[in-house]
Amino acid sequence: MVRILGIALLYLVLGLASFSDANGDTTAAEHLAARMAELEQLEAGFSQRLIDGRGMELRRTRGRLWAERPDRFRWEVEAPFAEVLIGDGETLWLWDPDLEQVTVRPYDERLQATPARLLSGAVDDLLEAFDVDRLAGSDGSERFTLWPRAGDALFERLEFKFEGGQPRFLVIHDSLGQRTDVELTDVRNRFADDADRFRFDIPEGADVIRETAESARDD
């Protein structure tokens, strides 16, 4: 499921939404863009559950993520099986250490509208890729629902919940009727600089699968 969250995740944002906020003239998309624009950097732990159409839990994973504007991110699954997804704005690496296998693929237009990249603050893409609705809670929380405009998007809709101005919950609904619930913990807006964080050096002897943008669309 890391492939859905990175490839198929983690980017928020879209041409002005067709839904207006009930409290004024500012659109829901503009509210969301303003929230995402505040996220120059983001580090958080995550707990992720895959739920089927009957509400049954199929899989649970946990790990940590780092994201940095405009479009760099690192998504590390720690349990039950290690997996690493890294994007630097041009190339995406998916590393499976147990199989010693890395999949390398270029960004394509579908990756402009995935959750991981939204979390990395790709605000311009947000304002072109989705229709957005916003619900403000009495406790100051905000919930945004996003519907991709592209017919070949990697998910049907995406929900973000902010608490105290920070992203806390992410829900991805796919075309199979399944959903992925992601809870973010220990959210931080700054992390130490590391030149290697958003770069992947392929280990010697690893099995390398290289995909083109065309083959990625056929997944």
- Mean pLDDT, rounded, of the chain: 77
CATH code for 2-217? Answer: 2.50.20.10
Q: Where are the domains of the chain?
A: 2-217
Residue 162 neighbours by CB under 8 Å, 6+ apart: 35, 141, 142, 143, 144, 168
Pairwise CA distance, residues 161 & 170, whole Å: 7
C-alpha separations of 74 from 29, 60, 156, 173 in Å: 25, 19, 23, 22
How does pLDDT run across 43-57, given as a tens digit for each residue? 999 998 999 999 999
Q: What is the pLDDT of residue 205?
A: 94
Pairwise CA distance, residues 152 & 171, whole Å: 19
Task: Out of 2-6, 34-38, 60-64, 175-179, give the one with best mean pLDDT.
Answer: 60-64
Neighbours of 217 (CB within 10 A): 12
This prediction has a pTM of 0.75
